[in-house]
């Protein structure tokens, strides 16, 4: 069943396409689908405690996301710090590299 759901997900979220996050704290933000991403990215689901992170990070801050994976938390941080802040994301595993994230600041 897992293989079938993975193939079905790739029909709706093909690699290298730009998609919007549908739910959660990153709703409306856009990203580029990478092979390392699951459907949970599109639906804003995960094991992250976004309320805790938001209580520690404020607009205008500089944030370092070490071990950023596919960048879901970095995307969240960029929303919290806003244009006045900065987010630096580091990921040592090549298949998870962050150029897959796309944020259109014009929207």
d(C-alpha 66, C-alpha 38), whole Å: 20
Inform me whether the pLDDT recorded for 96 exceeds 90.
no
Q: What is the maximal distance between C-alpha atoms in the chain?
A: 45
Return the minimum-mean-pLDDT range out of 14-18, 19-23, 79-83. 14-18
pLDDT at position 107 is: 42
Strand partners, 30: 20
Top-confidence residue, 106 or 3 = 3
Check residue 50 and give its pLDDT: 86
If one compares 90 and 7, the residue with the highest pLDDT of the two is 90
Q: What is the pLDDT of residue 104?
A: 47
Convert the pLDDT of each residue in 21-79 to its tens digit.
888 888 888 877 776 666 677 776 766 788 899 999 999 999 999 988 777 888 899 99
Predicted TM-score (pTM) above 0.95: no
């Amino acid at each position: 069943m897992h293989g079938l759901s993975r193939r079905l997900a790739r029909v709706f979220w093909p690699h290298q396409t730009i998609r919007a996050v549908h739910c959660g704290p990153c709703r409306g933000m856009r990203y580029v689908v990478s092979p390392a991403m699951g459907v949970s990215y599109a639906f804003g689901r995960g094991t992250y405690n976004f309320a805790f992170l938001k209580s520690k990070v404020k607009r205008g801050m500089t944030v370092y996301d070490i071990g950023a994976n596919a960048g879901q938390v970095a995307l969240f941080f960029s929303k919290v710090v806003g244009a006045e802040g900065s987010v630096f994301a580091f990921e040592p595993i090549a298949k998870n590299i962050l150029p897959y994230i796309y944020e259109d600041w014009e929207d």
